[in-house]
Amino acid sequence: MEREIIKDIVLLSQKSVPATRDDMQTVRDLLDTLKANSERCVGLAANMIGVHKTILAATIGDEDIVMINPKIVDKSKETYETEEACLSLTGVRKVTRYTMITVEYSDRKFKRRKQTFRDFDAEIIQHEMDHFDGIII
């Protein structure tokens, strides 16, 4: 089910907690909300739909992926500065991102995965993972 995007900074500033198999409805809602906003959005963290769990959905290439309890386990020394927007905020903000990250996570079937992402794909994931810590760009 498509959910409303949260814009309340107090709610967005709260830290998320690990997800469990009981959070599969949130996974479905994130994917539905991502698809409904595909013209203006490439990633969503669960807190953006009001659920403080460490789940994100992102459009990587032509595929919508879900990461449950992702952790960055490696990152490049190289960084770059860019400007990002967020559905929960107005305007853009400057941020620094790693060029490459390796992430361990569970997929929507709770199968453990380890994958390396570069450039814009890595940027999307870093942005959404910031939401887990209550970091708002």
Residues forming the active site: 128
Alpha-carbon Rg for the chain in angstroms: 14
Cα 99 from Cα 74, distance rounded (Å): 11
Answer for the pair 124, 137: CB distance below 8 angstroms, yes or no.
no
Contacts of 111 (CB under 8 A, 6+ apart): none
Answer for the pair 86, 136: CB distance below 8 angstroms, yes or no.
yes
Q: In what order do the strands lie in the sheet with 43-45?
A: 43-45, 55-60, 63-75, 100-106, 112-118
